Structure 1
Amino acid sequence: MSGNRWIWFGLVFVLLYIPAVIYDVVVSDRGVVAQVVLVVLLVAYAAGWLIAPKFFWGSDSENFNTALALGLTVLGLVVVYSLGMSYAGLMVYVMSSTAVVLKPLRAILIDGTVLVLLAGTMYLEQDLAIDGAQLGTLLSLSLGMLAVGRMIRANMALSAAQDEIAALARTEERSRLARDLHDVLGHSLTTITLKAGVARRLLESSSTDRALEEIREVEQLTRQALSDVRTTVSGYREVSLSAEMVGARAALRAAEVEADLPHAVDNVRPELQGVFGYVLREAITNVLRHAAATRVSVRLGDTWLEVWDNGRGTGVGTPGTGLRGLGERLAPHGGRVVAGPLPDGGYRLRAEAGETA
């Protein structure tokens, strides 16, 4: 409940109680000074009813809210003791506010103390008689508003949790999009660059027919990359390990790199086919970009994939965007990526999942 709504709730109590009590004060046989003082106290108490919620619901400090509730409670007790115990019902709003705003233990301590003070005073001043109706009303309303306060805090916590979940979902979606675009464009543009270079060299050597073949493949790759980007943005892109193996073979051939690749991927567990397709794509892209290798070998197991090249072994140190993305993809499968240069030269990337991780 917001402070503005609580003000309307308080206004009901002000209109119900305060004018009638002021009238009683004015027509009583008290002295003028006493009447003025009581009227001022009543107006201040009513203003507190209306102003305090703005601070209650606008503050995140439990100590501040406790101090404010105590101040308003003390003012209310001063008013009640000045008017007499028959006006104990004036405490209903401040006790209700305390029960709603403060945590249960503090609310129970404050409201419980008020009830004990009122009951004790009634017992001593009214010939050992206690107004059970008024005290019962105050007690029942305090307990009811205590439950309302807990519900309000639970709803606020739920709303905050929903906002956090939504923020996390947006962050995850941005990460997915960045990861997929990196995988799609990195591999496709690298292959297109290589094939365009081959076509240029063929044209320079007057091998027009082979150059045209390479350009046709560049056109096909460009269209495929555009389709991949569109499906990535829409969130429905799927990667096939067998298709990536075919693409890797073509990309390595265009770069004149000797490829030792498996002809079948059936031995890889079905749930790992997609993620290993991303691993193979990233590994081959890195070989073509950075390794300056002349030979690449790929090996597969049911829960692992390994890519080796005889290049210059760059990449040791902090992982790049691609390797971090692969780690994120393997994490749901209990997997990891291990990559680094080999002692005898070259570079190896190994992805493992499941029990072998």
Structure 2
Amino acid sequence: MSPGELLNRRWTWVAPMVGLSLVQIPLLVGGIDPGRPWWATALVLCGQLVYTALCVAVPPLVWPRTLTWQLGCVLPVVALGCVLALITTPYTLVWAAVMSAAVLPVRLVLLVNGGLVAGLALLTWQEDNKGLVVVLISVTAMCLSLAHMVRTHRELRLARDRIAALAVAEERSRVARDLHDVLGHSLTTITVKAGLARRVLETTTAGDRALAELVEIVHLSGQALADITATVTGERNASLAAELVSAKSALRSAGLVADFPLAVDDVAPVYQEAFAYALREAVTNVLRHSGGATRCEVRLGPSWLEVRDDGAAVATAAGSRGSGGGHGLTGLSTRLDGVGAHLEAGPLPARGFRLRVSAGEVAV
């Protein structure tokens, strides 16, 4: 929360308090003894104005503070109001009741204002001023309702801010995950093809092959840029068939045998986009982390996908295959949760690595 927002929320009570002060003016004027000298009346009114300003200033000063701080500010002001009520007019206690209701929790408000009502009743009962007791009780009830309304409004604003912050965090997580999924594969493939083109140019005179690889690099670079734009705008949709073609091309450029199915028709449509991201992540990890791999197999079913390679199974295969700053296999697992699919990844017993995605049911 910014300092400006905090200041605005601290002063939420000022407008209601000022409005109540306007309502209280006739009560204060009516409670002044007409037999007093004019200077005594002026002194009483000045004292009431100062006390009113003090009561208006307390709520923004004590929020958001601890209960000890609130009591330390409120109780002395209430005590001062009691003194002023004895020497000026009992209606001063109305302001003390308003201020305590604006600041303290409900239980303490009932305790403090209940004490004010009881004390006022004892002092004024013989003076036939019972109406003031009724006014004090009514003001307390009104202020409790107003305090509940203000606090509810404040909680709603805080909840709105938290929802907005969570939405921003979720969007950042989505962009980070999608950028990893998009750029991880594209840049890895570009690196592989650039290395192949360099080797071709260094070892042979097969300029046509090198030119073809360079053309493919240019195409992949443009596609990566388009993918970034689509990711940022939230309009990117992965195609399992397109990922199958792209993965096969990348693996063959790296010198691996790509044993892939010819079509993706067997996969249920509801899973195809999620499986496309899984295939992209798996093939990217094969290109990055499979030491000495010569072959990569992909198998598809109605509600499952499996990718295997015969690379060296390193000791931290699960961790290395899921690298990506927390957006590799972790991000993929989060994406798969959205369609009810489960991710399994780990080294094979003899040699190689396996990534399998499976869902419990096939959507019709």
Once the two structures are superposed, residues 174-193 of structure 1 have per-residue CA deviations (whole angstroms, 9 ceiling, x without a partner) of: 11111111111111111112
- Is it true that 1:27 corresponds to 2:13 in the alignment? no
Kindly provide the CA deviation profile for residues 23-82 of structure 1, in whole angstroms up to 9, marking residues without a partner as x.
Answer: 8695299xx9xx9997897576345324323423x3322332234222222221222233
Q: What is the deviation of 1:248?
A: 0.8
Match of 2:12 in 1: 2
Equivalent-residue separation in structure 1 for 2:228 and 2:154 (angstroms): 40
User: Partners in 2 of 1:138 and 1:216 — Cα distance?
Assistant: 86
Which residue pairs with 1:64 in the alignment?
69
Hey, what does 2:317 align to over in structure 1?
316
Percentage of matched positions with identical amino acids: 40
> What letter is aligned with 1:119?
A
Counterpart contact for 1:22–1:42, Cα < 8 Å: no
CA RMSD in angstroms, aligned pairs only:
3.0
Deviations 1:247-302 (A, max 9, x none): 11111111111111122222323222111111110110110111031011112233
Task: Specify the alignment match of 1:51 in structure 2.
Answer: 57
Contact (CA 8 Å) 1:192, 1:218: kept in 2 or not?
Answer: yes
- Number of the residue aligned with 1:148: 146
TM-score (norm 1): 0.85
Q: Which residue of 2 aligns with 1:188?
A: 186
CA distance in 1, matches of 2:350, 2:35: 100
Secondary structure in 2 aligned to 1:265?
A: coil
Cα distance in structure 2, aligned partners of 1:235 and 1:99: 49
Check conservation: 1:45, 1:76, Cα contact below 8 A.
yes
Q: Which moved more, 1:20-29 or 1:157-166?
A: 20-29
Tell me, what secondary structure is at the counterpart of 1:2? helix
2: distance between equivalents of 1:219 and 1:152?
61
Q: Which residue of 1 aligns with 2:274?
A: 275
How many residues get paired? 344
**SS state of the match for residue 259, structure 1?**
strand
Contact 1:13-1:93 at 8 Å conserved across structures: no
Shift of 1:22: 7.5
1:201-251 per-position Cα deviation (integer Å, ceiling 9, x unaligned)? 333311122222222222221211111111111111111111111111111
| Residue of structure 2 equivalent to 1:257 | 256
**Cα distance between partner residues in 2 of 1:186 and 1:25:** 90
Given that 1:10 and 1:49 are in contact with CA atoms closer than 8 Å, whether structure 2 keeps it comes out as no
Written as runs of structure 1 = structure 2, the 5 A alignment for 1:1-357 is 1-2=11-12, 4-5=14-15, 8-9=18-19, 12=22, 27=37, 45-56=51-62, 58-83=63-88, 87-123=89-125, 125-126=126-127, 129=128, 131=130, 133-204=131-202, 205-292=204-291, 293-314=293-314, 315-316=316-317, 318=319, 319-321=322-324, 322-354=328-360
Could you list the runs of 5+ residues in structure 1 that have no partner in the other structure?
A: none
Letter paired with 2:347:
P
SS of 1:333's equivalent? Answer: coil
Retained in 2: the 8 A contact 1:6–1:53? no
Per-residue CA deviation, residues 298-330 of structure 1 (Å, 9 max, x unaligned), is 122333222111001234354433111112212
Secondary structure, counterpart of 2:146 in structure 1: helix
Q: Which sits farther off after the overlay, 162-171 or 192-201?
A: 192-201
328-337 or 272-281: bigger deviation: 328-337
Cα pair 1:7 1:53 within 8 Å, conserved: no
CA distance in 1, matches of 2:318, 2:210: 39
Distance 1:218 1:66, change over 3 A: same
Q: For residue 236 of structure 1, give the secondary structure of its aligned residue in structure 2.
A: coil
Question: Matches of 1:63 and 1:353 in 2, distance apart?
Answer: 56
Query: Helix, strand or coil: the match of 1:308?
Result: strand
Amino acid at match of 1:162: R
Counterparts in 2 of 1:344 and 1:112: CA distance versus 1, 3 Å:
same
Using a 3 Å threshold, how does the CA distance of structure 1 residues 72 and 197 change in structure 2: closer, same or farther? same
Q: Secondary structure at the match of 2:238?
A: coil
Q: Does the aligned pair in 2 maintain the 1:333–1:354 contact within 8 Å?
A: no
Q: Which amino acid aligns with 1:296?
A: C
Question: Which whole-Å CA distance do the structure 2 matches of 1:14 and 1:141 have between them?
Answer: 10
For 2:53 and 2:190, the matched residues in 1 are separated by: 75
Instruction: Give the Cα separation in 1 of the matches to 2:25 and 2:149.
Output: 27
SS of 1:251's equivalent in the other structure is helix
User: CA 1:229–1:328 in structure 2 vs 1: closer, same or farther (change >3 Å)?
Assistant: same
Counterpart of 2:12 in structure 1: which amino acid? S
2-side partners of 1:267 and 1:67: how far apart?
73
Cα distance in structure 2, aligned partners of 1:252 and 1:243: 14
